[in-house]
Structure 1
């Protein structure tokens, strides 16, 4: 919940003042929920008896369909709730005013003072009546190419909104649509970058780190994970089952990485590359905690898969620590934001060695030296590593 906007109670507003503010002075506010909250307060100061308002936006995201921003009189800021992709199959949505707008209605108006038996039947109307609201209106907000979002307003004034109130609110809709579209698209750009390149890389790209060859040197613990026997699985299982297996596997590995401050830079077929920057406290210990939780999650996944007749999934992880170049690499027209360097190559070679030594997780001595006082490691001895001149002392971690 965000902090409430600062409105001078001695200042009187008209609906034109609210429109002017929304058009000219809201440009410095980055977040649509803050703009929406301040707009509602300014509408109150313009003698529009607003008690509750909501903004429903659809944002493409792998985990949720959109969000509802709710402002209520007397409650600081706004409350934001996310809507899952299956929300349109739920009773809370079916038959609701938001669903009516999405289905093509240009307005939904409900007199909440009338006998409930005579009005529309939906839980949201009962909820508003229970809070003493007397009138409710919902309108579409039209974004580019006909995309529809929804804004709603409600009052507890006896007799509801009058014609002047409705006219003032309608006057704001085109500008609110423009202002919200800019913020929603900014959020969409940020969301897509976070989804495809990670939160830290996404922030750098949005800040202007888009030139080929630009980057920084980062000292980090590097983790490369790969699924075993994936070729056999993909050749013998139906396509949808293979995708489902991969998604379950990546969830098991990825969620602990995010919890412990790591960043996944790349999914590589059935593998992934993640780093834990040493600038963050306890980065190496957090990597091993990630490995332990990922192992437990894989055990749970294999148990679930076994109950449906699927073969268990096995994996190998190679871990090293060192300096990596973190930045833009690629062609003039197609860039990849990733890490490269000998340290990444070493982690990749160690992951491959897990097959040879029969261990799921192999650590380099350089990494082990940073954590062996706090974690129980198994010394494996020295092994030649392809691409490196000297044998490397290796350790296994059971987690």
Structure 2
């Protein structure tokens, strides 16, 4: 009795067994993919080039492409932006055809190019001496489709046994890749919504309400001025664009200098610079300096469209904060609380009345005064605190 095609022995069977049983300790799909291609070669399937294209849930990127080439121990990773589907590199490509519903694409590259598909990718592969190219969808849960491709330089291309082995491999590769991709997606989503450090803690199991730790940190709270007036008078899409531009100007320097944004609150943000870094306070002011420059550039661009300049206030303090899970039994927020956070918030509010864009507490100023020129602006009452405190401005 003849075995069904999907059970018949193929050159890829050993690779399938390795994918199933030998990759449990491998965390990254790009490493698994490169090792898989090397093992396919060792099994007698003449793969010269292979790619894995995956869609990802990321605010900046539509997907990622992992490409392995003969002789390499690793796969190169390239991120793909959301506009790619409007560009010639995608239109008419194998990825385009697979995403449009094709279940298999094969291009015999040895034939006259005038007889085959017209796309720059096929011309590039012919120029590199490749003779055959095949692409398949890789099905994940609920019909989500990714793409895997293989190419060879073997005269005559892949034979029937090679194709049968590669096709037999696909379901196992789909399972192995889905686990790793979803692990990466979970990490990406947590980094996107709660920050990298909080995301690591949550993935490590810090999900119980009321759990947390005490962290000594420099705290920065920033707020956009006159946002209510802007949101009442501007079209909705313009308001969203404005907020995104403002948060880019503020957020990118914070991340660049080691700070972590814990939350966006309407038109404001809360960030911390843990004092586990000896330069945390200085890094905070370096971030403020760059954010000022970015806001000035943004206002200059906006002036060309007749928009009024955006103003903001920043309050900065340093102290111990409780860093952890707070919320209801079913909905938690990973954040910081404590008197130090309240002080930073009060200082941000005082920027309106004192007329300085950046106000610093004495506790913070004492940690940076040797490196930065600060302006003492007197002792001021701070709502919620018993004694007036010395405040300092960070001059323009």
**2:80 is aligned with 1:83:** yes
Give runs of ≥4 in structure 1 deviating > 6 Å: none
- Deviation, structure 1 residue 75: 2.3
1:33 maps to 30
Distance 1:24 1:89 in 2: 41
2:371 maps to 374
**2:223 is aligned with 1:226:** yes
Secondary structure at the residue paired with 1:240? helix
Secondary structure at the residue paired with 2:68? strand
Q: Alpha-carbon deviations, 1:304-346, whole Å to 9, x = none?
A: 1111121211000000000000000000000000000000000
- Deviation, structure 1 residue 74: 1.1
- Deviation, structure 1 residue 236: 0.4
1:252 maps to 249
Q: Residues 325 and 333 of structure 2 are in contact (CA less than 8 Å); yes or no, is this contact kept in structure 1? A: yes
Q: What is the aligned counterpart of 1:300 among 297, 304, 307?
A: 297
Distance 1:270 1:246 in 2: 7
> Aligned pair count?
387
TM-score, with normalisation over the residues of structure 2? 0.97
Q: What is the aligned counterpart of 1:44 among 33, 41, 45?
A: 41
Secondary structure at the residue paired with 1:92? coil
Secondary structure at the residue paired with 1:106? coil
Which stretch of structure 1 is more off in the superposition, 370-379 or 303-312? 303-312
Q: What is the aligned counterpart of 1:93 among 90, 95, 107?
A: 90
Mapping 1:184-333, distance limit 5 Å: 184-333=181-330
- Deviation, structure 1 residue 76: 3.1
**2:113 is aligned with 1:116:** yes
Mapping 1:11-26, distance limit 5 Å: 14-26=11-23
**2:59 is aligned with 1:59:** no
Secondary structure at the residue paired with 1:272? strand
- Deviation, structure 1 residue 358: 0.2
**2:351 is aligned with 1:350:** no
1:174 maps to 171
Q: Alpha-carbon deviations, 1:166-219, whole Å to 9, x = none?
A: 000000000111111111111111111000000000000000000000001100
TM-score, with normalisation over the residues of structure 1? 0.96
Q: Residues 35 and 73 of structure 2 are in contact (CA less than 8 Å); yes or no, is this contact kept in structure 1? A: no
- Deviation, structure 1 residue 281: 3.1
Secondary structure at the residue paired with 2:92? coil
- Deviation, structure 1 residue 62: 0.3
1:7 maps to none
1:5 maps to none
1:150 maps to 147
Q: What is the aligned counterpart of 1:161 among 158, 162, 172?
A: 158
Secondary structure at the residue paired with 1:26? coil
Q: CA RMSD in A?
A: 0.9
Q: Alpha-carbon deviations, 1:212-249, whole Å to 9, x = none?
A: 00001100000000000000000000100000000000
